[in-house]
Structure 1
Amino acid sequence: MKNMRIVVNGYGGADVLEAVREPLPAPGPGEVRVKVESAGVALADIMRREGVYPGSPIPPFTPGYDAVGIVDAVGENVTRFVPGDMAAVLFNGVGGYSAYVCAREEELIRVPDRVDSAEAAAALLNYVTAYQMLHRFAKLGRASAFLSTAQAEG
């Protein structure tokens, strides 16, 4: 079995993307391999491909902040996941555009069976970004305090 991933070979437009076939990665100790069903696509991915995002990786690299799929293999000492579980992983900006990804067990989040993989992938980076904007930058307190103030003013 082979893995396929997208590689950015140099900064630029979509023409710098290349699909690469390679051996399937094996999960190491404490790692989980996920067969990706859905991966997020973010403006930051495009900006990294163009080399304009602060701290853009130097090519070649595989873009992708997040991926969701089915666990198909686990390494030694993995206790929280078994093959067949749906899981999500949020990377540090690289790695998600792959057919299979390996990540440390603690980097994965279990996704309930009733949640669609595309919906889960759409929520990962977007949720984290919105949360950080509200709590780190806007310094928004408890929602109830915010709603009480809005109702009093409105």
Structure 2
Amino acid sequence: MPRRVVINKAGGVSAITVQSMDMPEPGEGEVRIRVVFAGINFADLLMRMGFYNPRPPYPFTPGYEVSGYIDALGPGVTSFTLGQRVVAAMRNGGQASHVTCVASRVLAVPDKISLKSAAAIPVIYLTAHHMLHHLGHMDKDHSVLIHGGAGGVGIAALQLCKWAGVDKVWATSSAPKHDVIKQYGARAIDRHNENFVDIVRKETDGRGVDHVLDPIGGEHLKRSLSVVAEGGRLYTYGLSAAAPTSKRSLLKALFAMRKTPKFDPLRLMTRNRSVFGVHMGTWTDEAVMQTQLNRILSGIEEGHLNPTVDSIFPAEKVQDAHQYIHDAKNIGKVLLQFSPDDGGGLE
């Protein structure tokens, strides 16, 4: 039976359920995908708690990425075949057993790449690649600070740095996750017990770094900006400071948002630094997106990139999956599974 994850209202994990649905039909230029895996991102948790925009009105189905099999073609689609393995970057609504998606946001999955790995690509790898390469033009002589280095985007960024030959990399995480960071040759910083500002300034002789990736937001952005080098870039792509636990707290969210700095263009100009806001769910240039996704797929095929999937939850255990991420237990990607990876596209 077709089913989907539904966020019914702003709240804790009890606000998210799995419900039956009608089978969607692809329209002009669309395909329908029988979903095997759908990714969960921290943005989904924030939307559930009511702290993230843009989001559809409640009730709605979250989800920015899926992998699975083509099982229906809309009028005008000739680039895919029934039963073909694919990955799709969704604007939303991906956490369902069947989804329709415009064909230009769908890519065939090469034989060497599993559907599990493919589902970990559209958000975390695309976000990291977009920041470091499309916006940042990173090269081997640059330096990088990655906050949340053991998370999904963090690990993707570490792998991209290693692929590019960047050897001046710092990454923050809780101490138990430092081994993950060190395996990519980066300098691990204990986010709870060490001051990354002092460490980066000391170890760069006061220069700072060329790229800072910050998914935390709020007041944390001020500290991140303080270690951006001349000509460097700060990327903000989340607001985890607004939801440090699974409990919905408007007070904590408002405090985090109130502490978010208002960047002064004149100060940025005189200090030759830039700040980018990044949200791939609202990115509309699909040609740029496809180019980057194809490069990421090539990187995986060639062994430069290795999607790290921490755990897979049955779709019906979506509440447990949300709580698992809230508790910061994951190292890498968390997926929901909607159907078996049986090697076939038709039910």
**Normalised by the size of structure 1, how large is the TM-score?**
0.86
- CA RMSD, Structure 1 to Structure 2 (Å): 2.1
Give CA-to-partner distance per residue, 1:94-114, whole Å, 9 cap, x none. 211100000111111111133
Please state whether the residue corresponding to 2:66 is helix, strand or coil. Answer: strand
Give CA-to-partner distance per residue, 1:53-86, whole Å, 9 cap, x none. 2323321110101001000110111111010111
> For 1:140, which of 130, 133, 137 is the aligned residue?
137
Show the counterpart of 2:45: 46
Q: Distance in 1 between matches of 2:56 and 2:107?
A: 25
Check the 8 A contact 1:48/1:57 in 2, yes or no. no
> How far 1:133 sits from its partner (Å)?
2.4
Show the counterpart of 1:9: 8
Q: Which structure is higher in helix share?
A: 2
Show the counterpart of 1:77: 76
1:26-65, aligned counterparts within 5 Å? 26-65=25-64
> How far 1:148 sits from its partner (Å)?
8.2
Q: Which moved more, 1:65-74 or 1:105-114?
A: 105-114
Show the counterpart of 2:326: none
> How far 1:132 sits from its partner (Å)?
2.5
Report runs of 4+ in structure 1 exceeding 6 Å deviation: none
Count matched residues.
147
| Residues 54, 25 of structure 1: alpha-carbon distance in 2 compared, 3 angstrom cutoff | closer
Which amino acid is the alignment partner of residue 6 of structure 2?
A: V
Q: Distance in 2 between matches of 1:121 and 1:38?
A: 6
Show the counterpart of 2:20: 21
1:92-111, aligned counterparts within 5 Å? 92=91, 94-111=92-109
Q: Distance in 2 between matches of 1:23 and 1:40?
A: 22
| Residues 52, 149 of structure 1: alpha-carbon distance in 2 compared, 3 angstrom cutoff | closer
> For 2:125, which of 127, 131, 152 is the aligned residue?
127
Check the 8 A contact 1:87/1:111 in 2, yes or no. yes
- Structure with higher Rg: it is 2
Please state whether the residue corresponding to 1:83 is helix, strand or coil. Answer: coil
> How far 1:144 sits from its partner (Å)?
4.5
Unaligned runs of 5+ in 1: none
Please state whether the residue corresponding to 1:128 is helix, strand or coil. Answer: helix
Please state whether the residue corresponding to 2:45 is helix, strand or coil. Answer: helix
Please state whether the residue corresponding to 2:2 is helix, strand or coil. Answer: strand
Q: Distance in 2 between matches of 1:148 and 1:63?
A: 35
Please state whether the residue corresponding to 2:93 is helix, strand or coil. Answer: coil
Q: Which structure is higher in strand share?
A: 1
> How far 1:17 sits from its partner (Å)?
1.1
Q: Distance in 2 between matches of 1:130 and 1:34?
A: 25
Q: Distance in 2 between matches of 1:55 and 1:104?
A: 20
Q: Distance in 2 between matches of 1:136 and 1:75?
A: 32
> How far 1:131 sits from its partner (Å)?
1.5
Please state whether the residue corresponding to 1:44 is helix, strand or coil. Answer: helix
| Residues 120, 50 of structure 1: alpha-carbon distance in 2 compared, 3 angstrom cutoff | same
| Residues 6, 116 of structure 1: alpha-carbon distance in 2 compared, 3 angstrom cutoff | same
Give CA-to-partner distance per residue, 1:132-153, whole Å, 9 cap, x none. 221466x234x35545896xx9
Q: Distance in 2 between matches of 1:148 and 1:89?
A: 29
Which amino acid is the alignment partner of residue 43 of structure 2?
A: A
Q: Distance in 2 between matches of 1:45 and 1:148?
A: 31
Show the counterpart of 1:68: 67
Unaligned runs of 5+ in 2: 143-164, 169-203, 205-347
